[in-house]
Structure 1
Amino acid sequence: MRVAVVGAGVIGVTAAVAVKEAFPTFEVTVFAEIFTPHTTGDGSAGLWGPFVLADTDPRKIVEWSLLTHKWMKNFWKSGRAAETGVSLLPCYRLSCKSYTKPEWLSVVYGGCELTEKELKRLSKANKTEYTGGVHFVTFTCEPVKLLPYLMKKLESMNGQFVQRKITDLKQLGEEGFDIVINCTGFGSKELVGDKSVSPVRGQVMRVKGPWLLECTLEEGHHGNYVIPNIDSTVLGGTYQEGDYDCSINPSDTKSIKEGCERIYPSIKKCGIISEWAGLRPGRVQVRLESEIMSSLKKKDLVIIHNYGHGGSGVTLCWGCALNVVEILHQQLKIKNLSKL
């Protein structure tokens, strides 16, 4: 059985690894125009935390994110944390808008809602007005380290990588593939004509700040965040729907720097390492489902779509990859029954 995975971000590579682990005899090939360190995920801080998921079913979010959290825990406990870019950090997530207790709070360690007294203290310290918030301990899993690790793992299992832009999924059926897993994120807007996919622009900067040992995120269109990574600290950010511009906007740079310095004044002493802007794959909800296409060689080419993860690619990646495996099991069972 030949499987083509289209897309080499965290969603695509985790799907490829999960499929190869579940079906060792399958031939798995990952096709992508861009590989690490140039994927959208490589620009992110890799913080576990559901974000920009629109109307995705909250039950699915909890299911997928829980499986990913356990996966990250295994890296952290097994001595592979440095290799996979995993850290365990305390985190404040504070709302500057209407507040609702997050359904995923039970997944993280020590998750609790902040009291009115704590909110007043933080509002005063950070010079803003918070309507609610939570404190918890969770993981960062940096794609710039995770992706090379997973790619090496897939190669060790005889998986292959091909640098090539795919413009038609049916063409892969013509080339003899039986199953295609579409993990092209924002690219699905063009590749499969999904008009519900839209860009959500994010701009961040990386600074030197080894003394910063906790995450703080403000939820709201004007909110800022500070997320320590292993070799740098990520300052953000922007949430700009419908914006396709991946160049650095000086106005956003100023807003990010001033906003993060408001939260942690010591950031004024941090040297800027780099800046980055990218497009999150926004969608009305994550698309994780199968369909059957026909091509000249494959009358029943199985397509499994796995895209539209917004700002939660790292948070949902392994849970969604395992869901891909479940769908594949179902499709193979259907195909075998149809031959009886």
Structure 2
Amino acid sequence: MPATPTLVTPDFTFDPDTPGACIAGVRPYRNSSYRLDAETIAGKFVVHNYGHGGAGITLSWGCAAKVRDIVARHLTVANDKAVAVLGAGVMGMTAASQLTDLGLKVTIYSDRSPAETTSFKAGGQWAVSVVEFQGKEAELKGIIKTAFTTFEESIGKGFGVSRQPNYTATRSHNLEIVLQLVPGLIPPPVPLPRMPFEGHARAGFEYQTLLIEPPIFLSKLEADLRARGVTFVRKKFASRSDVLNSVAQKMIINCTGLGAMMLWSDTKMVPIKGQLAMLPAQPDLQYLYGQDGYLFPRADHVVIGGTFEVGVNDEIPNRSVCQDLVRHIKSQFGQAPIKPVPDIHIHHPDHAPIVNPPIPEV
């Protein structure tokens, strides 16, 4: 039997004091399930598309296709020609892209540029992570299939999408969901008698998935939207009534993520802070890795992440947390002593819904 090949060990050189070496974002988690539905309020047709937790990029094209279909049905009984999209993150911009295909004039309203959104800070693995879908299994199947297929078709077209193996010490719940809901979309994991890295003696699994690099993907989306005549307006809304009164368009697509907690008084929304350590880029690394945290090699950085702070609604990075992240992943490659995993690391036990979370700050 041939020996298992050994893959390149990452260079874990890390200085947390370097500008941009530590960053933080807040996942827009929603208890029970994400929200993807429509309602009419004060004469406005509002489509809600938010609450996707850590799976925003993963599900984006699939949810955008659902938004397009909802709007297309509405247009059979309405004569609207323009639509407002709230939010310039991945949900807002993919929805805007689909809506331009309907011939609509699209305006995106956001208090942040795409590069300032949580989406831009995401790690980028295609996996159904930190999102609930209670009672929506059938809908999610279609969303997952559409999203994956769209991303796969964009490989080599400047969207920052590539096929990558992901090595895990245990089965990945985030990818097992895909295997269960849409069998055959991605290959089943290959059991490994030993992980193919120096410093690893334990068994593991090799999954096949996609890596979507948010800085490339969102920048390409924004450029394409602007080229198609989509207008970006910098605006911060104070309340739902502010949205309804100040937006001229009669169709509104609400992709505000965590902002829906305040704007739509959605008490199911829960902020979950995540922190990332950004190591220098290492082109020789051609795999993803996960064990109580993750390592993703992108063109801009090698990203190490995997923290889970429920109810924390700030984007202030903590350098000691970033150092802990690096030290932990480094230890898995035999480059540092193995220590107990800090409580701040994910993954949420059994991926159970987050119940009775702390009251989030707004």
Residue 198 of structure 1, aligned match among 261, 267, 270: 270
The residue correspondences of 1:246-325 to structure 2 (distance < 5 A) are 246-265=315-334
Q: 1:201·1:240 contact (CA, 8 Å) conserved in 2?
A: yes
* Structure 2 residue aligned with 1:306: none
Percent of aligned positions that are identical: 24
Pick closer, same or farther for the CA change 1:128–1:259 going to 2, 3 Å: farther
Whether 2:176 is the aligned partner of 1:102: answer yes
From 215, 219, 223, the equivalent of 2:288 is 215
Work out which of the residue numbers 200, 208, 211 in structure 2 matches 1:137. Answer: 208
Are residues 1:68 and 2:147 paired? Answer: yes
1:10-66 deviations in whole A, cap 9, x for unaligned? 011101111111x11x22110000112211011112110110013443443332122
Provide closer, same or farther for how the CA distance between residues 157 and 245 of structure 1 changes in structure 2, counting only shifts above 3 A.
closer
What is the aligned length?
Answer: 255
Residue 226 of structure 2: aligned partner: 155
SS in 2 for 1:190: helix
What's the CA shift for 1:107? 5.3
2:165 corresponds to 1:165: no
The 3-state SS of whatever aligns with 2:154 is helix
For the residues of structure 2 that align with 1:37 and 1:27, how far apart are their CA atoms?
A: 23
Residues of 1 paired with 2:132 and 2:84: CA distance? 28
Q: Work out the CA distance in 1 between the residues paired with 2:199 and 2:317.
A: 26
Amino acid of the residue matched to residue 143 of structure 2?
W
Matched, 1:35 2:113: yes
- TM-superposed deviation, 1:263: 2.9
Contact map agreement 2:84 2:251 (CA 8 A) in 1: yes
Shift of 1:241: 1.2
Specify the SS of the correspondent of 1:46. Answer: coil
1:85-129 alpha-carbon deviations (Å, 9 max, x no partner): 1122111244489x79813123554x22454xx3x6349977798
Contact persistence 1:6–1:183 (CA under 8 A): yes
Matched residues in 2 for 1:187 and 1:28: separation?
20
Q: What's the counterpart of residue 44 of structure 1?
A: 122
> 1:236: Cα distance to partner?
1.3
Does the aligned pair in 2 maintain the 1:236–1:260 contact within 8 Å? no
Q: Is the 8 A contact 1:101 1:113 kept in 2?
A: no
Provide closer, same or farther for how the CA distance between residues 128 and 200 of structure 1 changes in structure 2, counting only shifts above 3 A: farther
**Separation in 2, partners of 1:42, 1:237:** 16
In structure 2, distance between residues paired with 1:252 and 1:143: 22
**Structure in which a larger fraction of residues adopt helix:** 1
| Equivalent position of 2:84 in the other structure | 4
Name the SS for the 1:121 alignment partner: coil
3-state SS of the aligned residue for 2:115? coil
**Cα separation, 1, equivalents of 2:234 and 2:132:** 32
What's the TM-score once normalised by structure 1's chain length? Answer: 0.66
Q: What CA deviation, in whole Å up to 9, does each residue of 1:197-234 have, x standing for no partner?
A: 0111111111123222111123xxxx111111123211
Q: For structure 2, list consecutive stretches of 5 or more residues without a partner in the other structure.
A: 1-80, 338-351, 355-362
- Relative to structure 1, the CA distance from residue 177 to residue 228 in structure 2 (aligned partners, 3 Å threshold; closer, same or farther) is same
User: For the structure 1 residues 61 and 227, does the alpha-carbon distance in structure 2 shift closer, same or farther, using more than 3 Å as the test?
Assistant: farther
User: Cα deviations across residues 132-164 of structure 1 (Å, max 9, x unaligned)?
Assistant: x75322211122111221122222222111001
* Structure 2 residue matching 1:31: 3-state secondary structure: strand
Aligned CA distance change for structure 1 residues 267 and 28 (closer, same or farther; 3 Å): farther
Rounded Cα–Cα distance in structure 2 between residues aligned with 1:256 and 1:144: 22
Q: Kindly provide the amino acid, as one letter, of the partner of residue 104 in structure 1.
A: V
Contact 1:197 1:284 in 2 (8 A): no
CA distance in 1 between partners of 2:99 and 2:122 (Å): 25
Moved more, 181-190 or 256-265: 256-265
Structure-1 separation of matches of 2:125 and 2:160: 11
Tell whether 2:247 aligns with 1:178.
no
Q: Which moved more, 1:158-167 or 1:243-252?
A: 243-252
Query: Cα RMSD between the aligned structures?
Result: 3.2
Pair 1:16 & 2:96 matched: yes
Going from structure 1 to structure 2, the CA distance change for 1:194 and 1:172 (only over 3 Å counts) comes to: closer
State the alpha-carbon separation in 2 of the partners of residues 44 and 158 from structure 1: 27
Counterpart residue type for residue 5 of structure 1:
V
Residue 170 and residue 20 in structure 1: after superposition, are their counterparts in 2 closer, same or farther (change >3 A)?
A: farther
Question: Would you say the 8 A contact 1:87–1:230 is kept in 2?
Answer: no
In the alignment, structure 1 segments of 5+ residues that lack a partner are 269-282, 286-340
